[in-house]
Structure 1
């Protein structure tokens, strides 16, 4: 009994594979169609966005004086780094940047602040459709934020590690990745459609279907005379 179930399962799997193979052109066309949609979407429907990043390092008074730092001071510095992020994204700083650059639209959603673990390095990234604008905002934000950090936290200095420059290549959209995703989605959609249609099709296609569905012993098969001619 168990062997019969295993054989039936194997036959079903082979049947599904044969069905997929017979529909290979449909699957390929659907995959290419999905890739084409992804290409059109990435190339013509989405506005490219450019990232510009500037980095700063906050110098404490003890470091500037050449004194050693205690563990408590290091721990306090770690907590202060989190404060720097809030200062950079504060409305006061953003308003000054907008005024300095003559901007009207909100820029808070364009800014990302990253702080590597156990460092006092702060990375400020600005994303905009214009690479020159993103670089200008990032550099202006760095300058204004540095002044505000010194004013609020009383640190010795904020050093610029890296200035923002206009990006040559857009960060989004990733056309190659989107094409691959579109092709994969098209393939999965076509395969799923073919398998569902085949599984829901309860017509008798093979002599074995009578034995499996009705549990009857097959005594003989009447040949198709049209195929014999």
Structure 2
């Protein structure tokens, strides 16, 4: 008796997936809300993934840049550069669920490069008062605007790494762990950078009338 199965019991070979007809519209599935889904869409080349990344995280990246750079006429360029670098590097992101934290570090890297380029060409001035007025909150008082100018003028004198760590911790309110992760350094290094920047900032701020008065309104830097 033959041991070969009959033709009726042999499963048919799977048919190749049909190709879309020429001119047909290929519909892509929507991108999920999670960071993991967005990273997968970026890696898979989803046509709307890059725009979705920008829509979801542009405000966060811009805030990080603004905290580290201050009122700056190159802020929009830095924002664009950050997303260009993110799109180039997303394939190397090891933990997709930490997408926002990774974008923070990309923004910090972009800001550091901009600050260092300025230092090399000895251009450490703030934006002009006219440009500053355009970008500040319309309800800010003249004293607040002067304090803002003075704050970032002092920050411009600090080393890039110290300035960024100090700004993220003091101005943006990040935890020490978040600062270390964003700066790509150890917790101990982040603490040293913040302390060094704080000492230099306070010493200079005490010589500025507006900032000196501001320092005295809080407990942290009040003169004992």
Q: TM class by shorter-chain length?
A: under 0.3
The structure where strand makes up a greater share of residues is 1
**Greater radius of gyration (CA):** 1
Higher relative contact order (CA 8 A, sep 6+): 1
TM-score normalised over the length of structure 2: 0.26
